[in-house]
Chain A
Amino acid sequence: MSRYLLIESRDPFDSRDCDWLYETAKGLSKVGNEVTVFFVQNGVLPSRKGSRYENYLHQLSLYNVKLLADSLSLSERAISDRHLVAEVSISNMDQLVDLLMDDQLKPIWH
């Protein structure tokens, strides 16, 4: 088993290849890896309640993918805690750095 950190900085409504990241997260988790997806910048947009990606994020959580969103990116886009999809937890750069300081973790930026 490996640990993966997938950092999504892109808006799926703007970049069609975000689906690749979601599918990769699901696939990695499905075969027994520990996967965290960290949403930052426009990558946080699908985590808004009512987004067409809400169900997609729900599916990821069913595959035990941990979903985190950068607090500054959320607040810049007026997405408050109550607007956030339930499966997504608010996070920050401190937590991102803590994850990155795991020498067994494989980080991938998209």
Chain B
Amino acid sequence: MSGKILTLAIMDGPYESTCSTTAFRIIDAALRKGHSVKVFAYEGAVSLTMKAQKEHPNPAHGTSAEDEHHVLTKRWVEGLYELAKKHHVDLDWVNCGLCVDERGAGDWVVGPTRGGPADFLTMVENSTNTLVIPSKRNS
């Protein structure tokens, strides 16, 4: 482990923006390099960890859920926790509590914890660097 910590703030919900995928890729690369990662999931991003996500068939293509082989964001988060364990580094994923309550998104996979913007400040103060990935707004 490097002793370095990267904090990310993410805001996009699952299946809405490529930014979520890029955020997962950044976290994955950081963990593999032996860095600890802190994630502050804000707004729609709190739904990334929802336990109720499930695969589904695609009637338009006539494919089953198995054929579709969906990537569920909750599985990705679970995989990142396993990766952190494998590399002996920490993944600290905090879901914004108010954002969770607004969305009824409180039932999530093992790992993430509930917090608030004050936790994000603490994360920033205790990290090597911080990247904020805001929701995309066209202009």
Contacts and interface: CB of A to CB of B under 8 A. Distances in A.
Contacts of A17: 139
17 contacts: A9-B18, A9-B136, A10-B136, A15-B139, A41-B18, A93-B26, A94-B29, A97-B33, A100-B26, A100-B128, A100-B129, A101-B2, A101-B4, A101-B6, A103-B129, A107-B130, A109-B134
A96 interface: yes
Contacts of B6: 97, 100-101
Given A9-B22, A15-B138, A97 B30 contact: yes
Given A9-B22, A93-B28, A100 B131 contact: yes
Contacts of B72: none
Interface of B: 2, 4, 6, 18-19, 22, 25-26, 28-30, 33, 35, 128-134, 136, 138-139
Contacts, number: 58
Interface string A56-96: 00000000000000001000000000000000000011101
Interface residues of A, number: 24
Given A15-B139, A97-B33, A9 B129 contact: no
Contacts of B2: 101
Given A93-B29, A100-B6, 6 more contacts: A41-B22, A93-B28, A100-B128, A101-B2, A102-B129, A107-B131
Contacts of B134: 109
Contacts of A15: 138-139
Given A100-B129, A100-B131, A40 B139 contact: no
Given A9-B18, A40-B22, A101 B35 contact: yes
Contacts of B29: 92-94, 96-97
